[in-house]
Structure 1
Amino acid sequence: MPPRRAVTGRSQEPRQRYVEELRLLRAQKGDSLRQLGDVLGWDWSLFGKMESGQTLGSPEVVQALDQHYGTPGLLLTLWELAVADPTQFRERYRRYMTLEAEALSMWHYGVSTVHGLLQTASYAHELLSAGGLGGEQLARQVEARKGRRALLDGEDSPRFRTILSEAVLRTPLADAAEWGKQLELLLGMSERPNVMVQVVRHAVGLHALSNTDTTFLRLPDGRTVAWVETGYSGELVEETAAAERLQLSYDLVRDLALTPAESRKFIRQLLEEASCEPST
């Protein structure tokens, strides 16, 4: 049987199709986001987040939209398909990777792990293995992470800042020698003119990003987007107001961090401690 041909020209990916329909129906109705919020009784920013794909919204909101647009059941059906779609994380991550490759500058806060651009092969292997990958898929992912570091090479490479929670540097690999190599890589990368590594010590206490691993990308068109990640999912934040709120939190955390020079000194200290530990 020949593959199904798209007739409408709209996306065949459930989440994107849902977003497209939300935008199309509002445009046809002639509503602004604020007008939509006033009519339906929800904050207008929620509809902006739904139309940018940041959130799917609740079924109650979607049902209200169906009633408002005169499309009984259409949006709710698309919502159900988007919620059930097992590929939505991969699709969003692929979009993030595309934007990462275009970024003029990047800045990151790590709660518990080193950013992928600064991981050794052994670190990536152990981390991805712990997440359930194995075999050929694991090998491909490790190679992909090694290849990503090329983004930071060359004269036109973006500026990159990573702020790491002390917990990241207190969580070693099983192999002490490989952990030493990871610390050495962080030190080496921090010496590059386009890379800045900073550490937030435990002593600063709770702060705005205590449980949020976040990467920001400044794009050629002037926009800043954010990738917010846990060990099981990720969210690409493209809506300007939401990205700005996250960036404000990042700025507050940066003010709590050690300076780059102090951070290098701290990492060197950990490296010395690791090299002095007896091997098992």
Structure 2
Amino acid sequence: MSDDGSRRNTVIPEVPSLRQKWLGDKFSLLRHEAGLSLTAASKIADRSTASLSRIENGLVAVPPRDVRPLLDAYQVTDRDIRETLITVAAEVQQERKGWWVEQSDSLSPSFVDLLRLESTATSIRTFEPSLIYGLLQDEGYARYAAQSTRTWASDQELERFIATRKARQGILKRDEPVEFHTIISEAVLHQPLGGPEIFARQLKALLDSSERDNITVQVLPFSDKPHPGVTGAFAILSLSRLDFVHVELMTSDVYVEDEVSVAEYSAAYDVLAELSYPPERSRETIAGIMESLKR
């Protein structure tokens, strides 16, 4: 899984973000639960029906200051729901100020959603059966993986991808870094993409990353036992109020957001972590393979 978003076709970037659409769906649900039509809701909330419709369809972002009046109109008193919607509305506003905005015209909307979620995530957990996850990729490995998965229109386009990958990795080293946990199939360590020299540097970078307090690396060993990872790679992104699962397909991305499904992925991840080597043994395994590449 390349998780770079760059192999998709370029489209107009003014597409509602994942959280903006989530917020719209939530407002629609709350209005229906209150037994209100759009017309009735517009009178109570003192907003036009067109405005409410655009909000519910995720076409416009709701300023945090406008969330409370809408919740009051729908008689929503649950404190957790109110705080969640206000927080998400604030996060949607922040999405428009990220470093990726200037590059969004060359990135797919679904990949921009990943960048947005990563930037505000408190923790990220990934399972990778085929590649080192992008947030931990060394530049040489990232370049080789990118060249292997698609044809680039120009060297400049490839370099923009590498720059995007580097910018993504900033969340691991900022003042309040994201908690990052990755489980890597042992098969990945025996697939020296780019050749021994490039791969040895990647493994060294992986070991260096694993020494950081906010990064945990585990290796899932070869086994004849079935495990949840046989269905493929996935990433669980936990935000202050929402959790999403990201699954990358060959030509698109899927985001899972309903609580039951996310809980299933989380339980599967716990199983994978239990089946994997502990962090210290994982580092020893990576170091041993790295040394063998130098011989």
**Same fold? TM cut 0.5:** yes
Tell whether the 8 Å contact from 1:199 to 1:257 is kept in structure 2 after alignment: yes
Total equivalences in the alignment = 213
Q: Equivalent of 1:181, from 191, 201, 205?
A: 201
Give 1:58's aligned residue.
none
Q: Equivalent of 2:285, from 266, 271, 274?
A: 266
Q: 1:186 to 1:13 in 2, by over 3 A?
A: closer
Tell whether the 8 Å contact from 1:151 to 1:158 is kept in structure 2 after alignment: yes
Q: Deviations over 1:169-190 (max 9, x none)?
A: 1111233211110000011111
Q: Give the percent of matched residue pairs that are identical in Structure 1 and Structure 2.
A: 27
TM-score by length of 1: 0.67
Q: Mean Cα displacement is larger for which, 130-139 or 256-265? A: 130-139
Give 1:127's aligned residue.
145
Distance in 2 of aligned mates of 1:275 and 1:240: 46
Give 2:252's aligned residue.
233
Give 2:190's aligned residue.
170
Q: Deviations over 1:85-139 (max 9, x none)?
A: xx9x922221121011001111111010111110011111111112214222211
Distance in 2 of aligned mates of 1:218 and 1:138: 30
Q: 1:131 to 1:31 in 2, by over 3 A?
A: farther
Flag structure 1 segments of 5+ consecutive residues without an equivalent. Answer: 1-11, 33-50, 54-86
Tell whether the 8 Å contact from 1:52 to 1:238 is kept in structure 2 after alignment: no
Tell whether the 8 Å contact from 2:17 to 2:113 is kept in structure 1 after alignment: no
| Matching of residues 40-51 of structure 1 within 5 Å | none
Distance in 1 of aligned mates of 2:116 and 2:137: 19
Tell whether the 8 Å contact from 1:217 to 1:225 is kept in structure 2 after alignment: yes
Give 1:44's aligned residue.
none
Distance in 1 of aligned mates of 2:31 and 2:283: 56
Tell whether the 8 Å contact from 2:141 to 2:194 is kept in structure 1 after alignment: no
2:84 pairs with 1:91: no
Distance in 2 of aligned mates of 1:230 and 1:20: 25
Letter paired with 1:111 = P
Q: 1:188 to 1:253 in 2, by over 3 A?
A: same
Letter paired with 1:215 = A
Q: Equivalent of 2:294, from 253, 261, 275?
A: 275
Tell whether the 8 Å contact from 2:110 to 2:252 is kept in structure 1 after alignment: no
2:120 pairs with 1:102: yes
Distance in 1 of aligned mates of 2:112 and 2:220: 30
Q: CA RMSD in A?
A: 3.2
Give 1:70's aligned residue.
none
